[in-house]
Copies of this chain bind each other. A is one copy, B any other.
Amino acid sequence: MREKRDLLTIGHTALDYIIQVNEFPLPNSSTAIKKMRTFHGGAAANVAVVSSSLGLKSSLVSAVGGDFHGSDYQKHLINNNIDIQDMIIVKEDKTPTAFVLTDNNHDQIFYFYWGAASRFKESEVPYDAIKNIRAVHLATGDPSFNWKCGKFAREEDKIISFDPGQDLHMYSSQDLREVLKVSDILFGNHHEIDRILKNLKMNVEELREFGPSIVVETRGRDGSVIYADETINVDALERDPVDPTGAGDSYRAGFLKSYLEGESLQYCGELASAVSSFVVEAEGCQTNVPNLKMVHERMDG
């Protein structure tokens, strides 16, 4: 008999390489890396780690490589009380890896290696994990796997949130419709929500009729907008952002934590903003992660 848990996040666990160079080399030349740091990343793992720190019983299903077993990342997830018993281990491949290169002009080049994640497609839905959870969050990852999981979660009457993020371009119109149809909450940034509406030829109200009754649009420094029976604007909690990556995922974790506690949508957005205001104060998506007490103190302060 499985333990009942709160939030199952499905999608990428990835390694992030943050690399600084003076300039990007031309083909057939070389350049020295000035600074290189590695971080734990992947949108699904980010949401799992932050939500766990806020007090949810979080579970994570990602496709990772043979390098995962015994890795620092595995230890980190276990130390953060995340249930990883349903992770998909692809022994002969590597854990997904992102390389973000920045030059002296602040221009960026982004490489992403799917690796083990290309095996999501043929993987089995984590039925037991879904049965024993209150909510499922579908993050960046394979559209067809996300949909299969969402469909089963709907049959089991779970709360379902969806955030295609940077993998949005992988969804066909049909994919998008299928996943949105079973979702309760859609998260996206300004550009992503726009693209989804254009793709579906709907406005927000039509989208809310069709699928997710709550649409949350995050706008960086400009805060967030929650489209529900009323439209709620939430300010960003202005701090000194050191690194904006991870802001969105930590917002989602904060929102879902409050939502599962039955808080008002206004409060969900405010707590979410406060959570992400911590994460942007340090490089990396799973660094400077607050607990609930720290978040409350900042909201009250």
Residue of B nearest to A38 (CB): B94
B residues within 8 A CB of A111? 19, 21, 25, 30-33
Residue of B nearest to A107 (CB): B27
Q: Is the CB of A32 within 8 A of B114?
A: yes
Docked pose: A105 CA to B26 CA in angstroms? 14
B residues within 8 A CB of A28? 107-109
Report which of B24, B36, B112 forms a contact with A30, defined as CB distance below 8 A: B112
Docked pose: A49 CA to B107 CA in angstroms? 40
Q: Is the CB of A112 within 8 A of B33?
A: yes
B residues within 8 A CB of A21? 111
B residues within 8 A CB of A19? 111, 113
As a 0/1 sequence over residues 97 to 121 of chain A, the CB contacts with chain B under 8 angstroms (1 = contact) are 1010001010111111111000000
B residues within 8 A CB of A32? 111-114
Min C-beta distance of A212 to chain B, whole Å: 27
Q: Is the CB of B25 within 8 A of A103?
A: no
Q: Is the CB of B94 within 8 A of A36?
A: yes
B residues within 8 A CB of A173? none
This chain's copy number in the assembly: 2
Residue of B nearest to A37 (CB): B94
Q: Is the CB of A36 within 8 A of B115?
A: yes
List A residues 22-46 near B (Cβ within 8 Å): 24-33, 36, 38
As a 0/1 sequence over residues 59 to 70 of chain A, the CB contacts with chain B under 8 angstroms (1 = contact) are 000000000000
Docked pose: A19 CA to B99 CA in angstroms? 11
B residues within 8 A CB of A31? 110-112
Residue of B nearest to A94 (CB): B36
Docked pose: A258 CA to B26 CA in angstroms? 41
B residues within 8 A CB of A36? 94, 97, 113, 115
Given contacts A24-B27, A27-B24, A103-B27, contact A33 B109 (CB under 8 A): no
Q: Is the CB of A110 within 8 A of B25?
A: yes
List A residues 81-135 near B (Cβ within 8 Å): 94, 97, 99, 103, 105, 107-115
Q: Identify 11 new A-B residue pairs, CB closer than 8 A, beyond the known A27-B109, A32-B111, A99-B99.
A: A19-B111, A25-B109, A27-B107, A28-B109, A30-B111, A32-B114, A33-B97, A33-B111, A36-B97, A36-B113, A38-B94
